[in-house]
Every structure is written in C-alpha cells, then in structure tokens.
C-alpha cells in the first residue's frame, strides 16, 4: 500500500493558462500542494499572481519539451519530492492562440509529442496518476447530421492540414498515453474538452468570447468568423475543472471522457446577449472562418454523467456576466502593455520556446 501524506503533491503543466490557472486554484482550495509548470508562451503570470504567496503553491518557468527533474529546483524543497514524490500530474500544456497560431506551430507540434513524452516519463518515475487534456477536435469536423459525438467514435482529421500540429498532435498524444498505460501500467486518464469560456481567457488574442466582449465594450464591429448558421457549445471553465478533478479521482481505465456542454447555441444569440449585457451599440459583421474558429461537434456526455456524476451547472447568463466583469477589469491594463510587433498585448517577458 502506498504511503499516505497529509497533502498530495500535484504537478500541473500549463498551469498558468486559462483552464490551468483555475485548476491550480481549485486544487489548492481542496488541500493539495501544487507545482505549476509553464513557459508562458500562451499564458500569463497574471493568471496565477494571487496564488504565488500560498506556501502550498510554486511556479516553475520551464519548457516541458526539455526533460527536467523537479528534485533539483531549490524552490521545491519544501514539497519534499525526493521523499514523497508526485502523486498526480495534470498535463494541460499546449500553445493555444488563434491569431498567433502560425508563430507557435513548431511549439505545438513538439509539445504534443516530445512534451507529452516528458510528462509521461515523470509520471512513470513517480508512479503518479496522469491526466491528459485532449480536445474535441480529435473528432474532426461537426457531423453532417449534428449528432452528439461519443467517445468511441473515430474522427477524421487531415494530418497534413495547416492546423494538424494541434489536431493530429492531440491524437498522437492520446496514443502516447494509451501506449504508456499498456506497456508500463501507468494510470492514465484522457479527457476531450469541448469549447470552454470564462475569466482569464486571453484578451486580444483571437479568443472568440473575449473578442466579442472587447468590441462590444468599445462599440466596435463584432466579427463572427463564419455565417449566420455558425453555432457552438460553450462550457464554463469551473465546470470543466470540476470534471477534470472528478476524472482524476476515478479508479481503473474509463477510456476518453468528453467534457463540455451539450447545448448547441447560435453564435449570433451569444453576441446578442453580450450586446444587451454591455449596453453596446456594436454592429455584427461576418468574416471568413479562421482555423480555430470553425463549427465543432457537440459532446455526448453519457459517460461523464454516469461514470463521474458530472454535468455542466453554470448557466450561460451567469458565465457571461463573470467574463464580462473580468474583461472590463483587465482590458485597460493589458492595453498599456500592447506590443505592436505581435499585434497582441504582451504582459510577459520573452519566454523559452514551447510549453
């Protein structure tokens, strides 16, 4: 029987990102010690600055595509990793910026392959439970009949498309996780996350809901990258985090588990809600679809409901209010650090490639 510690040591790769920072916050609230590993390529210290004074939290700026040993970091000595090891690893790291996608294609490719291998090797070293956050895009485009996709459906992804380093990269990462399970007996969990929204989404970076809100607040045209038929599902970030923690707590192999909302919402309706909530006079204009702003399938949540006892709880109006409040509080701060060269605010110093 493994030893029992007063607090688990948990490592979160990509922990300074949108979902990762909410996960770190919840794990700390639940009584764990959290090691946040991130190189800030598509995340921000501002997401975790309120956690830095917590003695059970430590941020390590690290490129996960380079093998690293947590035991050599003096700032982690209080976690007693040499004695206690690491009990759980949540692997969320992957560059994600719709408008700067071309600049991070190599980082994305390597993170989904080499970075995932390095995280799996860490889990193997410490016999840690391992959770990999995959994506709904592994299923390919939205089915023509619009049926909710089950986890046993085999998606169709073009491995030579411009965004294959992300879509096919995530598929390969799932294969890596399953292979480590079969060959090494590693306790691996896989979740496929559908579109998620909430506070700490990157502003000025091509994220759909934040862009809508920013333009609405400034009474600028709101651009929908698609036509009037474009619809999607949106799951609030704290619901997704709750699903991740529930999945990590399970025993045995459930196989991949969908996490997201099964409610299909026309993008135009979401924009209208934002306009009403902000009192905006913005016009709505339609633009050609971007690589990361295309219609995706809806999740079948049967497995999550039955095996995890999980389902989304936060209503759309509640979630939109939270992200609108966050955006109003942060937009001016980020504008003061705008980097014209990147066409996006850059609140971080230059980061090591990839994470």
Residues forming the active site:
166
Give dist(CA 103, CA 346) in Å, integer: 14
Whose CA is closest to 205, among 347, 73, 23, 63? Answer: 347
Under the phi-then-psi rule, with left for phi > 0, alpha for psi from -120 to 50, and beta for the rest, what region is 340?
Answer: alpha
| Cβ-Cβ contacts under 8 Å for 205 (sequence gap 6 or more) | 42, 97, 98, 99, 100, 344
Q: Please give the helix or strand (H or E) that residue 183 lies within, else none.
A: helix 164-184
Which residues partner with 345 through β-bridges?
A: 338
Which helix (H) or strand (E) is 171 found in, with range? helix 164-184
The three-state secondary structure class of 251 is coil
3-class SS shares of the chain: helix, strand, coil, % to 5: 40, 15, 45
- Residue 244, classified by CB atoms within 10 Å of its CB into exposed (0-12), middle (13-18) or buried (19+), is buried
State the DSSP string of 19-64: HHHHHHHHHHHTT-EEEEEE--SS--GGGTGGGTT-TTEEEEE--T
Q: Long-range contacts: 304-312, Cβ < 8 Å, 24+?
A: 304/243, 304/257, 304/258, 304/259, 307/250, 307/254, 307/257, 308/243, 308/246, 308/247, 308/250, 308/257, 309/246, 310/242, 310/243, 310/246, 310/259, 312/235, 312/236, 312/239, 312/260, 312/261
Q: Give the closest residue to 96 by CA, choosing from 170, 31, 155.
A: 170
The CA-atom distances, in angstroms, between 84 and each of 30, 249, 295 are: 19, 19, 45
């Amino acid at each position: 029987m493994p030893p029992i510690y007063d607090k688990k040591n948990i490592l979160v790769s990509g922990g300074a990102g949108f979902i990762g920072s909410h996960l770190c916050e919840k794990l700390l609230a639940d009584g764990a010690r959290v090691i946040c590993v991130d190189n800030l390529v598509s995340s921000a210290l501002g997401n975790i600055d309120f956690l830095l004074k917590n003695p059970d939290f430590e941020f390590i700026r690290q490129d996960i595509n380079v093998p690293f040993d947590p035991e050599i970091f003096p700032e982690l000595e209080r976690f007693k990793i040499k004695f206690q090891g690491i009990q759980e690893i949540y692997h969320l790291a992957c560059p994600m910026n719709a408008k700067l996608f071309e600049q991070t294609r190599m980082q994305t490719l390597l993170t989904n392959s080499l970075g995932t291998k390095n995280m799996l090797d860490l889990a193997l070293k410490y016999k840690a439970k391992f959770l990999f956050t995959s994506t709904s895009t592994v299923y390919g485009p939205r089915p023509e009949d619009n049926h909710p996709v089950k986890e046993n459906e085999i998606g169709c992804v073009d491995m030579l498309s411009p965004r294959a380093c992300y879509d096919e990269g995530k598929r390969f990462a799932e294969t890596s996780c399953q292979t480590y399970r079969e060959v090494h007996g590693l306790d691996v969990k896989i979740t496929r996350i559908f579109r998620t929204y909430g506070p700490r989404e990157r502003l000025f970076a091509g994220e759909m809901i934040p862009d809508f809100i920013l333009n609405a607040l400034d009474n600028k045209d709101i651009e929908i990258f698609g036509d009037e038929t474009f619809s999607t599902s949106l799951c609030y970030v704290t619901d997704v985090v709750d699903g991740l923690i529930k999945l990590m707590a399970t025993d045995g192999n459930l196989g991949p588990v969908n996490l997201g909302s099964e409610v299909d919402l026309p993008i135009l309706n979401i924009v209208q809600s934002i306009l009403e909530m902000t009192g905006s006079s913005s016009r709505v204009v339609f633009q050609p679809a971007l690589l990361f702003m295309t219609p995706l399938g809806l999740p079948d949540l049967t497995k999550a409901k039955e095996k995890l006892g999980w389902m989304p709880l936060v209503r759309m109006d509640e979630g939109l209010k939270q992200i609108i409040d966050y955006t109003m509080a942060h937009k001016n701060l980020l504008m003061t650090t705008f980097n014209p060269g990147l066409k996006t605010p850059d609140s971080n110093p230059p980061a090591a490639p990839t994470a």
